[in-house]
């Protein structure tokens, strides 16, 4: 069958978008640093990466037969990925609610942006930082503010014990220390 009459789809083995906020999370809280990082990524895609790929696709298209031209086919696929990421970042930045956690410096209560050290029932101490959905990285002990652990910790104070519902049952966490970043000098 001629490829002229087939529809090209972009669903073939392409990576999916990062997870959206759960239905209950209507806010997109983010720290100023997280917002700046997402904005840098967006501007890099728009100003740097996308023009380079467009140039490659234009060059590849000028070589003739596009149906078997790997540079052209890969370039078009990469352009779709870049455009999809640009749309995603634009939407996330539009609804972002930038919250500066340094305003709580010196507080012993847990709010967005806090770094919390807590002890589990078995005595194991853990330290986590509560950040936005788009900036949390579990490998760096950063958790999203909508995670079960963060929801259990929010609004509690140093010395409080909070209850965390887990699949294995209820667990008690004791908050040992609450810290906030120091405001950057202006």
Residues 6 or more apart whose CB falls under 8 angstroms from that of 90 comprise 42
Give the residue range(s) of CATH 3.10.50.30 domains in the chain: 101-179
**What is residue 114's predicted lDDT score, i.e. its pLDDT?**
94
**What is residue 14's predicted lDDT score, i.e. its pLDDT?**
43
Q: pTM of the prediction?
A: 0.75
- 179 SS3 class: strand
Looking at the domain 26-98, which fold is it? Helix Hairpins (1.10.287)
**What is residue 3's predicted lDDT score, i.e. its pLDDT?**
53
Find, among 179, 148, 180, the residue nearest to 165 by Cα: 148
Give the residue range(s) of CATH 1.10.287.180 domains in the chain: 26-98
Find, among 35, 132, 48, the residue nearest to 93 by Cα: 35
**What is residue 30's predicted lDDT score, i.e. its pLDDT?**
95
Q: Which residues of the chain have pLDDT under 50?
A: 1, 10-25
Domain 101-179, second-level architecture: Roll (3.10)
**What is residue 151's predicted lDDT score, i.e. its pLDDT?**
94
- 48 SS3 class: helix
């Amino acid at each position: 069958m001629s490829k002229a009459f087939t529809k090209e789809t972009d669903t073939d083995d392409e990576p999916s978008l990062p997870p959206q906020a759960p239905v209950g999370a209507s806010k997109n809280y983010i720290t100023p640093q997280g917002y700046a990082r997402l904005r840098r990524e967006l501007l890099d895609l728009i100003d740097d990466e996308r023009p380079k790929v467009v140039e490659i696709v234009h060059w590849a298209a000028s070589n003739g037969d596009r149906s078997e031209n790997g540079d052209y086919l890969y370039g078009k696929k990469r352009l779709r990925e870049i455009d999809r990421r640009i749309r995603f970042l634009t939407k996330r930045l539009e609804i972002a609610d930038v919250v500066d956690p340094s305003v709580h410096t010196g507080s012993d209560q847990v709010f967005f942006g806090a770094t919390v050290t807590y002890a589990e029932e078995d005595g194991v101490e853990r330290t986590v930082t509560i950040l936005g959905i788009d900036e949390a990285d579990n490998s760096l002990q950063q958790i999203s503010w909508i995670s079960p652990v963060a929801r259990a910790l929010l609004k509690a104070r140093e010395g409080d014990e909070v209850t965390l519902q887990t699949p294995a049952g209820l667990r008690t966490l004791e908050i040992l220390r609450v810290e906030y970043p120091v405001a950057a000098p202006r």
